[in-house]
Each structure stands twice: as C-alpha cells, then as structure tokens.
Structure 1
Amino acid sequence: MKRRAFLERIGSILALLGLTQAEWLTLGNRYHQALATPNSRKLALLVGINEYPQSSGLSGCLTDVELQTELLINRFGFANSDILTLTDEQASREFIEAAILDHLGKQAKADDVVIFHFSGYGTRVKTGNLPETVENALIPVDKDTYNGIVVNYLLEETLLQLLRSLPTAKVAAVLDTSYNVRTTPQPSGLRFRSRPESLTAKLTVKELEFLNNLQTENTAINNSNLMVLKATSNPEQPAGEMLFSGFTAGLFTYALTQYLWETTPATTIQVLFSHVSSSMYKLGGEQQPGLLTEKKNPQSSLVTDIFPLERSHAQAVIRAKDEESKTAQLWLGGLPPHVCQYYGVGSRLTTLSGEQLIVKSRTGLRAKAQILNQNPNQPLQIGQLVQENVRVLPRNINLTVALGGGLERIERVDATSAFAAITRKVNIAAPEQGADYIFGKLQSTPSRYSIFSIGGEPILNTAGEVGEAVKVAVQRLTPKFSTLLAAKLWRLTENEGSSRLAVKASLEIVNKISSRLVMQRQTKGSVSGETIANKVIATPGTSVPTVPVGSRMQYRVENLSDRPIYLMLVGLNNNRSAVAFYPWQIPSEEDNPNSKPRLEEVVITPGQTLKFPENDNTFGWLLSTRAFFAEHQLIISAAPFTQTLTALRSVKYPTADQQPISPLVNDLEVAQALLQDLHNASKVKVDTNGTTNESYVLDVNNWASLNFSFQVV
C-alpha cells in the first residue's frame, strides 16, 4: 500500500475504532501542536497505566513514562511536542490505537525515528471459541464489558501490525509488561505486571475486526525491521516493578533507560542487553530482557539503529535553575540504580563546559545542587548534560531485608527481635522503603525458612531444616547476610560510564593455543570522542554471556592511562557465596628456595597489558563442572590496595587452597577495605554536611569498576 492510501485510510479506521473527532480532541492541545510541526523527525508515543478501575493498580508505570521522556528529550534530541503520553484514564484501547495511527502514522516519513513504550498489565485472552486460541494482550484502562465476559484488550499482534504499518523503517517498541502469572508464587518484593488469564472472557469483536482489517490491507507496507524490546525473554517469567528510594519503577525500564544515558554509538544490542540484565540481577530481579524482530542478526545491530544518539553520554541533566540562590535541580537518571539510592550529599558533577555542581539534597532521582565557578557570560542552561566527578557514599550502609508476607504475626515478632541483634548489618525494611532481600518461608515446605531475592527466587543453600525456629534461622543466616552486604558495598563502586581512568578489560576462555572473547568492558575515559565498542558473546536467545562448564578463564586488562594502575577482583556465584582473586606471588627459588607464596599488589604500568590469573606453571582458572551464574566486579585504582591486601592476608590459607580465584572468607572486611582504599586514593575534600569519617569520597579520575556477569552452562 502506498503512503497516500495509508493516510487516507486513517479516518475510516478511526471510525472503526468507534472514536468521534470530539473524543480524539480530548487528548489535548500538545498533540495538535505536534501535528502542526511539519518537520518533526523523531516521534514517540509513551503509554503508562497505574490506575486500573477493576483491579489493584500498579505504582511504577507513570515513572517509566517520565524516565523515557527525560531520556528521549535530553539524550536523543526529541522535541517535547513530538512526545505524546497517554496515562491512566487516557490510555484506552481506542485512544492507543488511534494515537499510533494519527500521532505516529500521519507525521512519520521515510527514515524518521518512531518510539513506542507501554508500561502496564498484560494477560492472555481468548480470541475464538476453541480453547487453544489464546493470545498475548496488553490491558488498557477500559473497563471490562458485560461483567467480564467480553474484554476490551489490545492484542500484542494488533500493536505489532500497527507499528509495522508505519511509513518508516526505524520503529522500535519497549514493552515493560508480561502475560503469564507465575504458577508457583514465592515471597516477592516486586509487583508483577501480569494478570491471570480469564477462563470465560473473550476479546471484543471490534478488536478482532480491527486486527483483521490491518492484516488484510497493510501487508504491502509491513515493516520487517521493527525492533521490540521486551521486559522478559521467557514467556513464563513475569515482569516486575520495584520500590526504590522514594519512587517505584519498572525494573526493565529503569535499567534500560539508565544504561542508554551512558551508552555510546558503537554499542550493540547484545551489549545493551547484557548490561540491562546484569543491572536487573543486582537489583534482585531474575528476569532477562528479550528481543522480538524479523531483522537478521539483530543482536549485532547498533543501539543507534533504534535510539538516535545525538548528545554526549551523561549521568544527569539540569532540569531547572535558580540564579538568585545559584542552585540547580538535577535529574539523576544516568546513575546506576543501585548507586543512585545511596548517592550522598557532597557528590560532585560537572558540565561538559567545566562548571561544577555539588549535591546538597536528593529525593529519589531528583537532586538539588549548588552551582560553582559559573561563567557569567555563559550561564547554565536547562537541558545541559552533567557527568559524575566525585561520588560520596555513606559508610553506615546496611543490608535491608523485608519480611515475607507468609510469615505469621508471632513469626514476624520473633524475626524482628532476631534481626535487632545484627542491626549493624541488617535493617528490617519499612513499608515505604525498598529491600535488598526477603526473609520468608518456602512455598513447598512452609516450616522451612530461607532468603529470597526481591523477585521471589530462593537463594541456593539458605533453606533450613523443617521445624527450625525463626530466631535460630536468623542466627544461622547471619554469615550469609554479611556476604550479601559485602556484595552490596562493592557493587556501589561500579562506574564504567563515568570513570576517567582509561582502562579496557576482557574476559576470555583460554587454552595453550588460543583464546576466545566472552565479553569486553571499557571506560568512557579510555578514548577520545565516543567510539567505544564494548563486546559480548552470548548464546542466541540469551542476554547474559554464556560459558561452558569446565572452561579455563582469564582476564586481560589494558592500562590505557598515563599512570600505573592496581587491580582487585571480587564476586558472587548464584548461591551468593563470595569469591576473590588472590594475587599469589611465588618468590624466585634463587632468592629463597623455602619461601611460600605470598599476596602482593598487582600493578600494570602505562601502556601495558596484563593477563590474570597467570604464572609460570599455569594460566587462568578452571570453572567448576556444574552450572551457575557468576558476577564479578573488577575494581581498578590509581593507588595500591593497601588495606584490602592487609584484609586478605589476615586469613590463614592452607597451601592446598592457594588458588587464584577462591572463596572469600572475610568478605565484609574486604569490601570495607576496598572502599577505604578507593577513598584514600581520591584525596578529595568535599562538604558532606558531616565528617569524612561518615562517608566514602571517591574521585572518578582515580578508579574504575567494571561488572562482568556470565552464566556457566
């Protein structure tokens, strides 16, 4: 179908939807201002529904719309008038479909960019009389009709047909929803965006007729390049939204938009998905993002094929300013989610032109900052991008644990009392506060207590015996809570997007003949411009890099800076046990033939590359012969890890245990020493409204922390 014919059909299709011109006008003046702009080149339709009339609502969908809006305007150059939002009562099925046809279809031209986003409930719905004719559907705000026998849902297939019919090949959709309800519920700190399939409800005839109309008349212009980014790759995995510090957001949308603030044009979809998946895992979600497209080799496509990067990477943007008080309001959407929750007063950010902003207060993703050294001839502008310079983190960070909903009242009282005895490590989550983990009972054996991720998955090897008392369970799990707190601390060092210490690191499968790249990470400060090409090699259909069991692994680190660098490696496997790289050095026999291996600093001089673990007798480390998930944090500093090595040396290791990658015994002590070493390396004085003894102050010029997460299969 030609474009002219397509546009001529819109009026009749709107009539088929049952919309009058007066109803469509209720979307507001901004939509019509957008139509009046003849040269619009980037268009977006963002849909978010928190309030549903006939079911419990959601809390993070409007935040998702805000996250996308800030990203599209400030990083990708979308005009505010070209972004149409439909929220809550506006987001009916008819309005969503009409907005795609009118706001997107009437304006888009060949090679224009179109983004569609949906956050809300999804479900499965019958589309025929046979029981097997059940399809995925988005749940708009419409009330069910005829007492739930007929429902006015938007089929996923209808949405895809609409987007494929747009007269441009650059169309992408982000769907932060899911369709299947988990069959085995577990204690969960997430609210899932899927509703149970109704056994009796059928889809409205109007939606089926509309889909049939699209399928029969739009086949000639179907867009096979449509890219759909989905919150989950597994149909059985529900998409979740999470309570953060001061706001709720979809796990997928928050992780996706955050990384897009920091990404570069050379980033591939596979690298994007690996970062998003890793971020969701660190937050407690087990879901992995999925990609739906007919495009060949889609995961090797560049992010710029979907999102048109126009401006430099950033961690924040100026949303408002007050010239009299010399303050600015910042949006911190580019900070890693687990970091943003603890981003402290005194943290310092800089504009690309050199002005400094010091955080004075923060609420959720918004911060108030004092403006320093502003050029009176070039005042700061709203929309100006800001990059992290100094990170301030509180020293009194604890693990936050929620009590599972299945616990009886007396169990909750006993658990609260037991946790009070380890208050320096663990806090019980308040209702308005997000949590790191959940303490609850196994669904299959309610008399057994365990630790669960926020997504509701039980942590391996944490379940106790049948009939165990609550207080005994908490005492038994105290060492595990220390490990989880240690991991929380070293995750807060992650700064691939903001570090100005120029390094590149690769994880490889090695043998004596050759090596194979698994993934590569590189700081933004390692090259001039924005030409970084991080790499990830993964099994098709997965977002996390995969490594065969029994592989021999090795890291390769390149020092691209003009200073010596020092490194440490810590990590977790999927039963949340800590591991670390132990830099054992074997002295020369000529010096002392009876000397034992000892722990020494690992230093890489400027311009040099180091492979580790490696020595004269062996290379790399051997993975176990069982499947597991591994998360490593490679932490690099411009100064020695003096206190970290002291902590590592404080434990006596049998000769047989002197392996390069081994269990970390005193994990919390090591994590605290790591942060202290980075603090000592920074040598920056900031105003934190307290003393430096209450905060870690970290300078991005002096450290880099890169995450490597992979699945052993």
Structure 2
Amino acid sequence: MKRRRFLHRIGSILAVLGVTEAEWLTLGNRYYQALAQPSPRKLALLIGINQYPHIPALSGCLTDVELQRELLIHRFGFQGSDILTLTEEQASREFIEAAFLDHLSKQAKPSDVVVFHFSGYGSRAKLETSPDTIQNALVPANGSNKSQDEKIVNYILEETLLLLLRSLPTNQVTAVLDTSYYAPSTVLGLKIRALQESEAKLAAEELDLLKQLKTQKLPSTPIVLAATSESKQSAREGLFSGFSAGLFTYALTQYLWEFTPASTIQVAFSYVENSLSKLGSKQQPGDLENLSPKRRALNSPPSLVGKGAGGLGFASSFPDSIIGAEGVVSAIEEDGKTVHLWLAGLPPQVLLYYGVNSRFSLATTEQLVLRSRTGLTAKAQISKIDSTTPPQVGQLVQEAVRVLPRNINLTIALDTGLERIERVDATSAFAGFSHVSTVVAGEKPADYIFAKLQEIPSRYGLFSLGGELIPNTSGEVGEAVKLTVQRLAPKLSTLLAAKLWRLTENQGSSRLALKATLEIISDISPRVVMQRETIRTFKTETSIKKSAPTPIVPIGSRMQYRVENHSDRPVYLILLGLNNNHTAIAFYSWETPQEPNTADTKPLLKEVVIAPGETLTLPQTNAASEWVISGPAFFYEQQLIVSTAPFSETLAAFKAANYSTAEQGPIGLLLNSLDVAQDLLQDLHNASALKTEMNVTAADSYIFDVNSWASFSFSFQVI
C-alpha cells in the first residue's frame, strides 16, 4: 500500500474515532464507553495475513478468517455487519490497533460477546527498555519495515494485545491466536507460522501504546486460545483438498460445528488435539491461563489473563436447540433445486474423500444429495423435487449418508530437500506399490513425507507432516533410496490401513446411541482418561465433559474400555489402532476351542456383541486378559467402531492371519492390517440399508448410513 493511501486510510479510521493520532495513543477512558444497544451485541475482529513484504508467504490465513466468519454467523448468531475483517495489507499494526479501538472498544458493553482472531506470523522481540527480556509478538502485514528503517519492526506485542482485550468492558471476550513464536533453523513438512527472533527495536508508537495501556483500568477477564502451549512448538498450516488453512483454526472450528460447546476449554482441546494428531501435527493448543512454565516465561505476566474463565466465551449464546451440524446452506440457485453448502463441520481427514451422492438432512427432514465439491464448498440437489418445504439460506445440514471411494491410496510427499536423482529414484520405488502415490511436498495434500534425516543426511526416512520421524522407518547410513523405500512395504500397508479406518470417524453425526470410556484400572476405582459419545443421540452431554486436553498414560498402566449401548438394537464392536511403535494392533475376543488337546493351535475368534441397554468392559477384567501399556514413550491411537450388523468379513480377515496361541492377548498385533481395514469398510457398507436406493455403483464406492454405525477416535500419550 502506498504511503499516501495508507495515511489517508488510517486518518479515516481515526476520524471515525473522533481523535487525532496523538490523542489516539493516550487511550482515554472515553474509548471504553459502550454504544447503547437494545440487546447484547456480538462483535468480532478477524485478522488474516498471507502476503508479507520481504518474508515468505503463508497460505492458510485467509481461509482461517473465512472459517471463523462462517462459524460465528451460522453457529453463534453473529450479524455479518458486526464482524470486521482485516486481511493482507489492510492488517497493518496501525489498522489493527485502530480497528480494535473503533470496532470493539467503542461499541462493546458489559453484556456483549467479543471475538478476536489472528492468523499470521508470530515472532519474538527484545524490549529496548529491558534488553534481557524477550517477548512474544504478532507480526502485522507491515511488521518488517525494511524499506524505511531495518532496525525498527512494527510488531504488536502479545502483552499489548492482552491488555487491549482486558480493556474491553465485558467478560465475554475470546481471542484465538493461530500463530507461534519459535522458528527452528530447519523446517520439515507443513509450513510454520513463526519468524526467527528479531534483534530490531519495536516502533516507538507500540511502546507508547503499551505504556498507556498499563495505566488504564482493566475490567475484562478474556479467554485467549493459543495454537501452541509449549515454547518450542510451532503453529502449522496444512494443505487440504483445494485450500490451505491453519491446523488449529480448522480443528477448532470443525469441533464447534459438530459439537455443542463444552463447559470447559480443556474438553474442546481434547478433541482439537486429537484432530491435530490425525493431521500430522503434535502441536498442543492451550489457553494462556494454563501454559507450561517455559511457555509462560516468554509471555506477559499471568495476571494479564483472567482467572476462572473456564468456557468458550462466545459459546454462551449458542442456541440450546441446535446440537451440531456438518455444514450450512450458503446459497440457493434460481431454479430452487440446487443449493450451495459450506461443509466446515466434516472431519478434515474425511472431507478430502467425501464423494458425490453423499446425503445431508435438513431440520425439515428433507435430504440434499451431494453433486460436486470444491474445497469446503459443495453443490447439492433436493432429493425430492416436489418438496413443499424448500431449503433456506442459513439452514444447518447434518450428515445422513457418507459415500467414499474404494480406490484410496496412501500419498507420500517427496521433500524438496532431496536431490533430483533422489526424487526420481524415490518416485520409481514408491510406484512399485499398488496402493501408494507420490507428490512434491507442498504442492498437493499428502499423508507422510519421505526425506533425509536432518542429523544424518546419508539416511532416509518417513516422517509425519509435522516433521516427526515415524518409528522404524529410517534406512541405514549410506543406503540407496530404493532399498529404504522397499523396506517400507509393511509399514506403508499399516499406515494406509490406519488412514482407512480413520475415515469412519462419525462421533458427531452417528445416530446410534453409544458411549465409550477409556479407563486406567486401579485398586480403588477406574480413572477416566477419555470419554466419547454419539452426541446427537443424547439430550445432555454430562459425560462428554470428562476428557483431559492431553490424555497421559504412564507405562505399566492397566487399561480397559467401557462401552455402553443405549440404543434399541444389539451392536457389534471392532477396536483397531496404532500402538506407540506405530504398529497395527487390534482387540481380539478369543473363543476357547472345544477340544483343548487338539494339535490345531490356531486360535478361534468370535464376534463382540453388546445387547440393547447393556455395558461391555473390554478386555474382561481378569489376570489372563489384562491390557498393560508397555514402552516406549510415544503416542497411541485407537479407533473403536460399532455397527448394527456383524463384522463378518473383518472377522474372516482376522482368521486368515496365522496367529499362534502365544498371541492370544486381549490387545495384540494385527498381522494383515490392510486386509482387515478394507474388509471393515465393506462390512460397514453391507450394514447400510440405503445402498439399494441410491444411484451409486457399489463397485466404486462405499456407502455408510449414520443410523447403522458409530466410530470413536481415542488418542493418548504414553510416558
């Protein structure tokens, strides 16, 4: 933006405030006076910056703003006119702070709801007044003034922002910061939203503003949700199907679409962190009131964040009658038969494969049939053309039928740090697997990254999208690319199997009334680690509020699942997962052979069924069938899947593997994970009563009816 235009624009904003630039910096009490409103207002200031001068561009910050805007309007009842967005060059330090004062401080009153969102780079800066103090800071669009004075940066200190938030005359203030402040020297995988620590000085205006804010009365106790909770974690953004977005923003908004907001932030973070893990990032979100000591040491004083703010502030106005949704009707074409949908409520890992002919239901019980999808938007048609209750813009839609393709591959991104000949060899080697495809890292969505080990460049390995080495995937020193890839064959099948069973997740949309609890067994009473339930089948969510943000399980713990069937039908259960070695595991229900002394030692398996109204504990609590967590310290992931029909083909796949009697443990290794996962999807397809009514070729697609299956995801950290 040219300087003349900039001065004109900032002058216009200050004119609206009715002050000169000098008066603006004094922050008099008049800025806290609220405008008279007939009813409480809901105000939001959303900021997203992809393009920075002199700095590598980000990709997902504008999508973050769109995700937040659609969420606030369609789920929380915000008026579009009360949401101010600043993007790209508009989001300068001066504009952001002026907009905060004009749009939020000047208008808010004690009963109002206020949301502030920032997506962009973060960094760390030293204060001139205290050279030994390093503070976190947000980087506005004009954060780096290289064209003027390279020694001056236009950062907004995190401390300044927290003081601005506290200056608002309402306690219903929520800020979402999808940024981070630690930038490692080398980055593998997803882009990070952090710049190297700056040696430059902060702009004098920023320091003056901070000084003035410290003299003001600060009545508010805001909730500040951060994308990371550890000082050396980085906020990452992902590349999805047709769009990029901040992983934290996407996971948080998706949770708020599908679920009624929990009573505590910690419960929300339990789900968000689970979603982040599936997206390949181990970043752990947090609220600034409950940071780790290391992270807090790099923040402003703890007193800047209000105590006792346990819930999501903007969730206080959530309509009680709305339980959850996967999307909303965003537009209707002139013919009245075709509607446009915004589908930010679908689980991110599912959206990529969400197929044509999937169905959504409206509150009127009418159904919409998906005809095409691009990124987060889709077109659908009313299933009954003669419907007397046509859809309306703003109507929420809930998943009814999920259609997924059968030809799903594992996608490996080849790191750009590989030499050309290394990429050629890797492409050729991966092409030898029928279920694996390759892309160039950063160009298309992927599941994992093939790259060199940073500490030993002569070794290759498979990494998560967050840059974490997958256990047991690194080659030997000096080993050729092709040899390393060929030895990955078993691991690739396991990772694809996990990808397939993750696509069944539907806790938000399932219509089977089920509840599952993961517990640590103790001599006194079981301790709840995580709890999941199909939220659209229960009138209350008291049990769902028992999850910790980062479930921790010590090595040596005795574990069990408690599964409650609240439906009116018997249900069948399968438990699959990846253990802390990233090896496939499954729960087995062993049946004692009729002739114990027979020479045939092949174990017998049986279906796990739960009668209506009954509760099943698995494994059964006795010494012979205990499930004990062993090392190493890493993440554990399990998918608990329930169906109204038997898992006949899945059980047949189990039986086809050559298990010995020594492997008859309750939670054991899954030898043929890909076969089991494919047969699992087929069983869920067979359980759907709708497949004969739909114009879908069964040979090309799986069809899942939300009335016939439920799938819960459990992830925890072993220490």
TM-score, length basis structure 2: 0.90
Output one character per residue of 1:188-226: Cα deviation in whole Å (capped at 9) or x when no partner.
Answer: 1x1111111223x1001110011000001x2x3342x31
Provide closer, same or farther for how the CA distance between residues 454 and 431 of structure 1 changes in structure 2, counting only shifts above 3 A.
closer
Q: Is the 8 A contact 2:325 2:397 kept in 1?
A: yes
The alignment yields a C-alpha RMSD, in angstroms, of: 2.6
- 1:524 Cα deviation from its structure 2 partner: 1.8
Cα distance between partner residues in 2 of 1:641 and 1:355 = 31
Instruction: Report the secondary structure of 2:57's partner residue.
Output: coil
Task: Give matches, 1:167-566, under 5 Å.
Answer: 167-183=169-185, 185-188=186-189, 190-199=190-199, 201-216=200-215, 218=216, 220-223=217-220, 225-293=221-289, 294-296=305-307, 301-303=310-312, 306=315, 308-310=317-319, 311-324=322-335, 326-373=337-384, 377-429=388-440, 432-511=443-522, 513-528=524-539, 530-531=540-541, 533-538=543-548, 543-566=549-572
Cα distance between partner residues in 1 of 2:214 and 2:83 = 27
Structure-2 residue corresponding to 1:161 = 163
Output one character per residue of 1:56-95: Cα deviation in whole Å (capped at 9) or x when no partner.
Answer: 2111100000000010000111111111101111111111
Identity %, equivalent residues: 59
**AA at the equivalent of 1:159:** L
Cα distance between partner residues in 2 of 1:594 and 1:60 = 58
Unaligned runs of 5+ residues in structure 2 are 1-13, 27-33, 290-304
Cα distance between partner residues in 2 of 1:356 and 1:711 = 40
- 1:335 Cα deviation from its structure 2 partner: 0.2
Provide closer, same or farther for how the CA distance between residues 461 and 591 of structure 1 changes in structure 2, counting only shifts above 3 A.
closer
Unaligned runs of 5+ residues in structure 1 are 1-6, 20-33
Instruction: Report the secondary structure of 1:368's partner residue.
Output: strand
Cα distance between partner residues in 2 of 1:51 and 1:365 = 22
Q: Is the 8 A contact 2:124 2:135 kept in 1?
A: yes
Output one character per residue of 1:337-378: Cα deviation in whole Å (capped at 9) or x when no partner.
Answer: 000111000100000111100000111111110112367553
Task: Give matches, 1:96-107, under 5 Å.
Answer: 96-107=96-107
- 1:462 Cα deviation from its structure 2 partner: 1.2
Number of equivalences = 680
- 1:306 Cα deviation from its structure 2 partner: 4.7
Structure-1 residue corresponding to 2:152 = 150
**AA at the equivalent of 1:134:** I
Cα distance between partner residues in 1 of 2:692 and 2:163 = 55
Q: Is the 8 A contact 1:360 1:367 kept in 2?
A: yes
Cα distance between partner residues in 1 of 2:511 and 2:324 = 13
Q: Does 1:77 align with 2:74?
A: no
Instruction: Report the secondary structure of 1:607's partner residue.
Output: coil
Q: Does 1:567 align with 2:605?
A: no
Q: Is the 8 A contact 1:612 1:619 kept in 2?
A: no
Structure-2 residue corresponding to 1:41 = 41
Superposed structure 1 runs of 4+ greater than 6 Å apart: 34-37, 588-596, 686-689
Deviates more, 1:78-87 or 1:309-318: 309-318
**AA at the equivalent of 1:84:** L
Q: Is the 8 A contact 1:48 1:86 kept in 2?
A: yes
Q: Does 1:117 align with 2:117?
A: yes
Structure-2 residue corresponding to 1:137 = 137
Instruction: Report the secondary structure of 1:133's partner residue.
Output: strand
- 1:686 Cα deviation from its structure 2 partner: 7.1
Provide closer, same or farther for how the CA distance between residues 574 and 688 of structure 1 changes in structure 2, counting only shifts above 3 A.
farther
Provide closer, same or farther for how the CA distance between residues 355 and 108 of structure 1 changes in structure 2, counting only shifts above 3 A.
same
**AA at the equivalent of 1:471:** K
**AA at the equivalent of 1:57:** A
Cα distance between partner residues in 1 of 2:396 and 2:49 = 29
**AA at the equivalent of 1:354:** T
- 1:590 Cα deviation from its structure 2 partner: 11
Output one character per residue of 1:113-138: Cα deviation in whole Å (capped at 9) or x when no partner.
Answer: 10000000111112116542221111
Deviates more, 1:504-513 or 1:151-160: 504-513
- 1:547 Cα deviation from its structure 2 partner: 1.4
Deviates more, 1:289-298 or 1:457-466: 289-298
Cα distance between partner residues in 2 of 1:604 and 1:56 = 55
- 1:110 Cα deviation from its structure 2 partner: 1.0
Cα distance between partner residues in 1 of 2:516 and 2:235 = 32
Structure-2 residue corresponding to 1:696 = 702
1:629 aligns with one of 612, 624, 635: 635
- 1:630 Cα deviation from its structure 2 partner: 0.6
Q: Is the 8 A contact 2:270 2:547 kept in 1?
A: no
**AA at the equivalent of 1:605:** A
**AA at the equivalent of 2:461:** S
Structure-1 residue corresponding to 2:668 = 662
